[in-house]
Amino acid sequence: MSLLRRGRASVEELARTVGLTDNAVRSHLTTLERDGLIRQEGVRRTPGAGKPATLYEIHPDADALFSRAFQPVLEALLDELRDSNTTQDGDDLMHRVGHRLARVMGRAPVGDLGSRVAAGAAVLDSLGGVTEVEKTEGAFLIRGCGACPLSPATARHPELCGAIEALLSDYVGAPVRERCQRGERPRCTFEVSTAA
């Protein structure tokens, strides 16, 4: 992958650089292409007769997977916001962010509350969480199964959970209360009341 991050390359170029056979490289490329990490993009003609070499590159959608800047930049931004605002201002800002995310997620689901809550859980899953929905007396709980999509930052900035609370409230169309568990492995928990 690091070779393709530097630019397009053919099977032959990659094989020569890493010391593998063309077939071994093709096998790896097929897997990476299937997983959406790379794509075929163009050809390179060589002097003389013969078939042009297909070039491979990192898929543009996969670029974010290689960045390590998001977490430190986000945490620095949140530190600045916290230092220059009151706690209430920070909470209000996170709720505005959540409302904006709800608009970005598109049309809110329709149906009964249970199906809307399930759709809300699916939104968290699409953001990198792993959730399950539990029905209790008087509420639905959307619980993370150990994979909080914001866990790298929530230990120092629990106000981030307020953004997800607002997102879910707008998306589900019902009041949502954040009940996240914090610690070494944060766990999302959002309560949606069944009371009208």
Residues 140 and 160 both lie in one domain: yes
Query: CA quadruple 66, 68, 71, 74: dihedral positive or negative?
Result: negative
Residues 52 and 126 both lie in one domain: no
State the burial class of residue 49 (Cβ atoms within 10 Å of its Cβ: 0-12, 13-18, 19+). exposed
- The reported pLDDT for the residue numbered 196 is 60
- The reported pLDDT for the residue numbered 133 is 97
CA-based Rg of the chain, rounded to a whole angstrom? 23
Residues 47 and 83 both lie in one domain: no
Beginning with the edge strand found earlier in the chain, give each strand of the sheet holding 53-58 in spatial order. 9-10, 53-58, 38-44
Residues 16 and 96 both lie in one domain: no
**Residue 75 maps to which CATH number?**
3.30.1380.20
Going by their DSSP bridges, the two strands 53-58 and 9-10 should be labelled as: antiparallel
- The reported pLDDT for the residue numbered 123 is 93
Other Cβ atoms less than 10 A from the Cβ of 152: the count is: 15
Residues 53 and 150 both lie in one domain: no
Q: Are 137 and 193 within 8 A, CB to CB?
A: no
| Domain extent at residue 55 | 2-66
pLDDT tens-digit readout, 157-190: 888 999 999 999 999 999 999 999 887 778 899 9
List CB contacts of 180: < 8 A, sequence separation 6 or more. 144, 148, 154, 158, 161, 186, 187, 188, 189, 190
Residues 99 and 133 both lie in one domain: yes
**Residue 8 maps to which CATH number?**
1.10.10.10
Long-range Cβ contacts of 33-36 (<8 Å, 24+ apart): 36/61, 36/62
Residue 196 to residue 178: CA distance in whole angstroms: 18
Tokens found for residue 128: 């990198």
How many independent structural domains does the chain possess? Answer: 2
Q: pLDDT under 50 in the chain at which residues?
A: none
